[in-house]
Structure 1
Amino acid sequence: MTSLRDIVNKIDDHLYFGNYRSATDEQTLNKHSINRVLTLMSGGIPEYKRYPNIEYFTVEVNDDINEDLLTHLEITRQVIAEGHRKGQNVLVHCAAGISRSGAAVTAFIMHKYRKTFDEAIEMIVLRRPLAGPNRGFKVQLRLYEQLDYTLDANNPKLRQYLLDRFVVSNRFDSYYDRLKYIESLSTPQYGQQYLCRQCNQLVFHDIHVIQNSSIVDNNDTNNNTTKCSDLYIEPQIWMKKLICHQYYMLDSDSQSSPTCPLKCLHCQQTIGSYKQHFSTFECNCDLHRGLSCLQFKIDLQSLSK
């Protein structure tokens, strides 16, 4: 007997929503004339369970509240949209057909119809009652709505998301990888250059300066905004080797967070500081209040423009 979980549900024109079992069942695929399968799970569908008349695409994500799905939503949208343009019926699935695929389908409907998260998920649940992104994915989908369904590297909210998702937990390699991908989707407006005063090496740009995105969005930097003299930046690609070396050399038994010098990679001039274990600096000014990613403090006196 076929369970509710194994049923494939039509969500929109050429768009179907199911689970792993339905995505590997030839009878089910033929019944719905599926020509393209989008899998959201680690490993994807193995070759021996694939059929020659179907195109397969895999986005490797786990069903975990801490998993990054947001930065994958553009590729999932493109896979579905391309299938539509070709007149293909697209089946989107994960393991159970609930959370990961539910989030991807929701994001597609949000983008296509300019719907809010609440409107899109309501539409989808009417067609597939099992649909239910986990709470971490729901937060990301609401952010996707705030980003106007676009992954634009110039948006400070998106850059803040990457910092919170990866850098706070010291997953620098993942951060660099996802930031590079996001920046490939748009044309970053880097702004003013900041150079090492001693050797003239590029250190960072305006776009890398960390500030409270709500204040930046509202242009609320008037006289009523409390500011400090400190400047914090996102991790730079030139820091990669230094960060890895320092991270593995840290004394894991140390309970303190002494400040370590951040040096120019080219001339070794001290240009700022960071804390041991990459713990965050605390600042209560309006530009930095509530931010958990103030890990790299810059000494402006050591720089030139």
Structure 2
Amino acid sequence: MALLDKVSGELQLYIGGLFTLRRKESLRTSGITHVLSVLRFIPDQALFDGFEHHVVEVDDVDDENLLEHFPACNKFIQQGLDGGGGVLVHCAMGKSRSATAVCAFLMQRYGVTPDQALAQIRETRPLCEPNEGFWKQLELYHSIATPEDIEETPAYQRWLYQRELELSRACAQAPEAEKIRFEDEHEQEESAGTSKPARSFIYRILPDPPYGRTLATSQYLNEHRARDTGKPSGSCSHYFLDPLSWMRKELEQGKLDGRLECPKCQANVGKYAWQGMQCSCGDWVVPGISLAKGRIDEVKSRPLTATGLGIRQPPQAVVVRKTGSGHENL
């Protein structure tokens, strides 16, 4: 009787397809005590008699959220191994969903990358290949250090938000108001370890006299690249940024696109299009939430304190203001 495909290494961890469950003699010989089923199906309960069984009902499609199940799957696998038995992880073909779940477990246990985890699995089961969507989820899981509580992780919440935007775009609808993520409202919880650019500018409307309403800091700008050169598009006519709380009244109206007004003086400062918009550099930005460079001014702000506590200092007194003849310092 052929043996099961054991993941290379010290662990009694096995991977296979649905038909593996019918190889009763191999299961017994391998000491399998726990079975993790990663697929959507109506199970024949007789197949699981004598096993601890956990089911994760997901399809093998790119937009399926398997990431949310990683912590529970890891816990189940670890419980089986701690009990001294073997653990079988299977899906329909033993190729994509099961491989993704095993990769996630190896990443958390050993601190390895997705590539390293998959290479270890392929030593004994070369056909394993997570689909593109699952692979991106593994990369995200690795980037946030494989947390046990993934639901409250800011990066995971942003990823869910992007999925909502993609769904809304596919349906040609604006996202539901309660699902819009206003990034400045999450600033405190994400202040540590952020990958956003450091705060170096304040973008604000500048009337005369020079007192204005702060619209955004560079923390919330979204970089994109010019289509022809691939270089950062510093010469573009718009700044693209995340949704911010001062835009709430407009963005929650359920419109696909519209204008953004300064909340202080109601001047037109930009526009938005949930389905995306084309920048002057030729790149297509989704969603397109932008401030027109010709309608705002950049004000340098002081850097963060050396303590790294994220305390923002008042802006410097030097303000660069666009004029008809060029620039003047105020």
Q: TM-score range by the shorter chain?
A: 0.5 to 0.7
The answer on whether the counterparts of 1:164 and 1:293 sit within 8 Å (CA) in structure 2 is: no
- 1:192-228 Cα distance to aligned partner (Å, 9 max, x none): xx9xxxxxxxxx982299x9x9x94245122283867
Q: Does 1:63 align with 2:60?
A: yes
- Aligned mates of 1:153, 1:114 — CA distance in 2: 20
Match of 2:51 in 1: 54
**Larger helix proportion of the pair:** 1
- 1:30-56 Cα distance to aligned partner (Å, 9 max, x none): 1211111000000253223321x2111
Structure 1 residues 230 and 145: alpha-carbon distance in aligned structure 2, compared to 1, 3 A threshold: closer
1:1-305 correspondence to structure 2 within 5 Å: 7-11=4-8, 12-43=10-41, 45-51=43-49, 53-150=50-147, 151-170=149-168, 206-207=185-186, 216-218=194-196, 220-223=198-201, 225=218, 232=243, 257=256, 279-280=274-275, 292=286
**Alignment TM-score, normalising by the size of structure 2:** 0.56
**CA-CA distance at 1:72 after TM superposition:** 1.3
Code of the residue aligned with 1:72 in structure 2: it is: H
Q: Say how many residue pairs are matched.
A: 227
The answer on whether the counterparts of 2:96 and 2:131 sit within 8 Å (CA) in structure 1 is: yes
**CA-CA distance at 1:143 after TM superposition:** 1.3
- Aligned mates of 1:153, 1:49 — CA distance in 2: 33
RCO higher in structure (CA 8 A, sep ≥6): 1
Q: Which runs of 4+ in 1 moved over 6 A?
A: 228-231
**CA-CA distance at 1:83 after TM superposition:** 1.1
Query: Alignment partner of 1:74: what SS?
Result: helix
Query: Alignment partner of 2:167: what SS?
Result: coil
Structure 1 residues 292 and 76: alpha-carbon distance in aligned structure 2, compared to 1, 3 A threshold: farther
- Aligned mates of 2:30, 2:194 — CA distance in 1: 48
RMSD: 4.3
Structure 1 residues 166 and 47: alpha-carbon distance in aligned structure 2, compared to 1, 3 A threshold: farther
Who wins on radius of gyration, i.e. which is larger?
2
Unmatched 5+ stretches in structure 1:
180-193, 195-203, 235-241, 251-256, 261-272, 296-305
- Aligned mates of 2:242, 2:11 — CA distance in 1: 50
- Aligned mates of 2:28, 2:103 — CA distance in 1: 25
Structure 1 residues 82 and 294: alpha-carbon distance in aligned structure 2, compared to 1, 3 A threshold: farther
Structure 1 residues 97 and 206: alpha-carbon distance in aligned structure 2, compared to 1, 3 A threshold: same
The answer on whether the counterparts of 1:40 and 1:58 sit within 8 Å (CA) in structure 2 is: yes
The answer on whether the counterparts of 2:7 and 2:121 sit within 8 Å (CA) in structure 1 is: no
Structure 1 residues 26 and 126: alpha-carbon distance in aligned structure 2, compared to 1, 3 A threshold: same
Structure 1 residues 230 and 130: alpha-carbon distance in aligned structure 2, compared to 1, 3 A threshold: closer
Structure 1 residues 34 and 44: alpha-carbon distance in aligned structure 2, compared to 1, 3 A threshold: farther
**Alignment TM-score, normalising by the size of structure 1:** 0.60
Query: Alignment partner of 1:49: what SS?
Result: helix
The answer on whether the counterparts of 2:276 and 2:285 sit within 8 Å (CA) in structure 1 is: no
- Aligned mates of 2:137, 2:153 — CA distance in 1: 15
